[in-house]
Amino acid sequence: MKIAELVANTIDRLPSDYVFTCADFNVEAKQKNTVVKALNTLATAGKITKLSKGKFYKPRRTQFGELKPSAYQIAKDFIEQNGKIKEIVRGLSVEQQTAFATLAIKYTNYVRALCGAILEDIGVEVPLLSKLEKSLNGVTEYKLPISEKTLPYKSKWNIK
């Protein structure tokens, strides 16, 4: 099977909204360039959408147009590895945790909920978490495909 066919078939099996990179294709290192070219060709043809350099997603199309992927899909490479929160997130200093929470306040509700759950999991001080928690509507549920094993406080932050 040609690499381009392999890439197209793999993408067909992916769910809409899924963010992927060249590394998600099971090919030899010398064939990675061909995978990148195939991904860029599919993006140009409108079959997939380029999120950023080397990152693509299979868009969900509605009657109102194409939807962007969820916050979790966009951030998953930064926060999760082998079903666990990455140690880089766990190793944030108090100042970095404060900056992280302050930045989160500027984003949408589901991003704030996700950040709150991550920060609570790594043991951030309660006053910082309270600020994030108060910025959310306590009734709204956020549908993000992340497991309870990966993010133990997801339910507390209304992540379903």
CATH number among 1.10.260, 1.10.10, 3.30.1920, 1.20.1740, domain 3-67: 1.10.10
pLDDT of residue 12: 92
Listed in order, the ranges of the chain carrying CATH 1.10.10 are: 3-67
pLDDT of residue 87: 58
Tokens of 88: 């880089």
CA atoms within 13 A on the CB side of 132: 30
Q: Digits of tens for pLDDT over the chain (160 positions)?
A: 688 898 999 999 999 888 888 888 888 888 889 999 999 999 999 999 998 888 899 988 888 888 888 777 877 776 666 666 655 666 677 888 888 888 778 878 888 898 899 888 888 888 888 888 999 988 899 888 888 888 899 999 999 8
CB proximity list for 77: less than 8 A, separation 6 or greater: 19, 21
Give 85's DSSP letter: E
CA dist., res. 79 & res. 116, Å (int): 13
Give me the residue label for tokens 């294709």: 25
Decide if 19 contacts 52 (C-beta within 8 A). no
CA dist., res. 117 & res. 104, Å (int): 12
CA dist., res. 72 & res. 114, Å (int): 8
